[in-house]
Amino acid sequence: MPESPRAAASPPSTEKATARTEAPRVAVASLVGTTIEYYDFAVYGTASALVLGPAFFPSGNPTVSSLAAFLTFAAAFLSRPLGVVLFGTIGDRLGRRQALVASLLLMGVATVGVGLLPTYETAGLLAPVLLVTLRLLQGLSMGGEWGGAVLLAAEHAPPGRRALYASVPQAGPSLGFLLSSAVILPTLHLAGRDGFGDWAWRIPFLLSTVLVVIGLWVRTTVSESPVFRETAHRTAPVGGPVPTSRFPLATLLKRYPGRLLLGTGAAIGGSAVYYLTIVYSLSYGPKELGIPQNTMLTAASIGAAAGIAITLPAARLSDRIGRRPVMLTGAVGCVLWAVPMYASLSSRDAWVITGAYTVGLMLLALMFSPVAAFLPELFPARLRYSGASAAFILANTLGGGFAPLVATWLNSRWDSPLVLGFYTGALCLLSLLCLLALPETRDQDFDA
């Protein structure tokens, strides 16, 4: 909701001191919202791997159905840049909190809508058209979610703990996946594979209603970013926040194109690791290698939990020794481990796959935990929402959104899980090179 002129004109130093005491609650509020957003996204990704192809894109060729379902998964990534423009402008001009509330509401409406859709058998071509439309709305929402969540937490953080607080919402993607698995696995077990494909797949989507209501309540109870308020106070009269640029993203592209490209590259490898492990392999393992679906979901869930366990320690370490050393360690590890991780699928052994995924997702946490502070620190406060969001979302789109499609095509030509490792390792190598080209940002003046 809009801030009153009186609130906008309050002394910045007083507001900042008050906001620091709110930092833990703000971080948790950011985590709740991000978890819900990624729950919605993970539910769709898992449903794509299990049932959405036959339900909305019937075909005699299973590969064609899978490609069509993953194409709708990728469609949401195409609309993410539009979300960056929309919510980045709102977040940099009107406030981080307003953008976050709007993005969460949009995601909730789109996700529940998917759960209510008729299938191709009932509605014909209208069904996939509506599905793609709702996916585009989900992507629009995600374009504003990540940047706002980490910024709200980082800009409330006390000195010397910026990465620690920013990394709290960074656990949201893995928590969202775990939450989706906690709903999907028992639903799949109780309804059976046929029942899940017929009707029970809708349950995880419809349950999003409850989660969104909780998330909206949490997010509307926290205060606006003190850094945003202070910059607005410095640049605006009593009338309220009036930033210097009407279109922050245009200013960003003009002044910081190099940092935007390198920041995108720094996050692209981790995006590939996450989406190939959490989304694509859940379909590839059972369909192509005969690995039980529960084995793949359990391996990915245990790996995600291990990644969550080291997210905060890795962030705290980056507050002490710098962002780059921690992220570079994770990037090198992902380059070296990518091939062994996906080669483990050839064993078809639950313990081997779980162990390989656990190591891989822990290395991913080393890359992605500090990035929540690293990317915002690359840009000034007035362009930070747009800059951090654009870098992360572009990396997610190029490295993650199209990863299932690329992997499906690669495996249609070379029927081996090794190609997943080589593909992922190449993108992680790109991230490593971009990190080497970027400066250390731990001591960056975050109020500037």
Q: Concatenated DSSP letters for 353-420?
A: HHHHHHHHHHHHHHHHHHHHHHHHHTS-GGGHHHHHHHHHHHHIIIIIITHHHHHHHHHHHS-STHHH
Q: How far is Cα 277 from Cα 291, in angstroms, rounded to an integer?
A: 14
Mean pLDDT of 186-199: 85
Q: In terms of pLDDT, which residue wins out, 49 or 139?
A: 139
Tell the residue number behind the tokens 């390198």, with chain if given. Answer: 262
Q: Are 270 and 337 in contact (CB under 8 A)?
A: no
Mean pLDDT of 204-233: 82
Mean pLDDT of 290-314: 91
pLDDT of 16 above 70: no
Mean pLDDT of 185-198: 85
Question: Cα–Cα distances in Å, from 35 out to 12, 178, 417?
Answer: 31, 10, 30
Share of the chain above pLDDT 90, in %: 31
Residue in 386, 385, 384, 334 with CA at minimum distance from that of residue 360: 334
Mean pLDDT of 429-442: 96
| Model pLDDT for residues 327-345, shown as the tens digit of each residue | 999 999 999 999 999 999 9
Q: How far is Cα 20 from Cα 445, in angstroms, rounded to an integer?
A: 16
Radius of gyration (C-alpha) of the chain in whole angstroms: 21
Residue in 383, 372, 396 with CA at minimum distance from that of residue 149: 372
Q: What tokens appear for 116 in the block?
A: 């209510």
Mean pLDDT of 393-401: 86
Q: How confident is the model at residue 233 (pLDDT cuts 50, 70, 90)?
A: low
| Model pLDDT for residues 34-58, shown as the tens digit of each residue | 888 788 777 887 777 677 777 887 7
**pLDDT value of residue 234:** 57
Q: How confident is the model at residue 238 (pLDDT cuts 50, 70, 90)?
A: very low
In 64-167, beta strands by DSSP E: none
Q: How far is Cα 251 from Cα 429, in angstroms, rounded to an integer?
A: 30
Expressed in angstroms, the distance from the first to the final Cα of the chain is 25
Average pLDDT, whole number, for the chain?
A: 84
**Amino acid at position 72, single letter:** T
